[in-house]
Amino acid sequence: MKGSQSKCGIYFAILSLFASLAMQAGPILAVKDTKGRALEIELISVVGQDVRFKRVDNAKEFTVPLAQFDEASQGKIKEQAATLPAVLPPFDIDVVIGKRHDEGNSYYLVDQKISTTVMLKNKSNDVALPPLKGRIVFVGRDQRTEDDFIVLSTQEFKVGLKPTEKSESLLEPFVTTYDGDQKGAYNVGGYQYFGYLIVFLNDKNEVVYDYTTSGPIRKLVSGNRKLLNVMANYSKDATLNDKMEIHNKPARSITR
């Protein structure tokens, strides 16, 4: 058991049906440990040989080795684990954004070239990171009205790693042009790179993981599953408001 082994052993006890119905949101499992002590749990995940569950009596979560349960309970856990959504193993993600600035055709216009590398490392020794579709949505901010945004680019990359394996995906670079002077009535605007959102999608096009280093984007999508799924499907040139929702304002183009 990881850290909580002794505590978990102490708390194994027979629970009443009333308590299980009152505190369990979904199907429960009546299990026993190798010493025959009974417990009712809500199974959260099984990753490798580690079982993560919530106790029905106090809603506390524990992670213990599968071998901590008796043979019959192990069978129950494995059977129910097969019905749960896939759980990703622990992995590292590193996104390197390169931003090169070149002068445009006038002294105040700037060409901003964005290059991106996505690096992944599976930290598990025995669990693969399953094949998924990675998608990254790049967002730019209007330099004339800063509450307006645009999708600069949407790109995809493959996800899937064997235990301990690494990968590196070099995405297609793109260029955005904006007013680097931003002064007075002559500010012509344009879109400067603002941030990105990465999502991993399963074969049902459901988001199973999301990542961004942009504080404003993170604040908006955190706990907002609806927006997260909508943003995952934005296409290039979609115009957005400051809530990252699509609006009907036309993009501000710059004549070059």
Q: What is the pLDDT of residues 85-126, one digit of tens each?
A: 777 888 999 999 999 988 755 667 889 999 999 999 999 888
Top-confidence residue, 127 or 2: 127
Q: What is the pLDDT of residues 188-203, one digit of tens each?
A: 789 999 999 999 998 8
Of 89, 26, 27, 40, nearest in space to 69 by CA: 40
What fold characterizes domain 5-81? Answer: SH3 type barrels. (2.30.30)
* CATH 2.60.40 residue window(s) in the chain: 91-240
* CATH 2.30.30 residue window(s) in the chain: 5-81
The residues with which 32 forms a beta bridge, in sequence order, are 38
Give the total residue count for the chain.
256
- Cα separation of 117 and 239, whole Å? 25
Asked if 143 contacts 190 with a C-beta cutoff of 8 angstroms, the reply is yes
- Cα separation of 195 and 221, whole Å? 13
Top CATH class, 91-240: mainly beta
Q: What is the spatial order of strands in the sheet that 149-161 belongs to?
A: 207-211, 191-201, 129-142, 149-161, 239-240
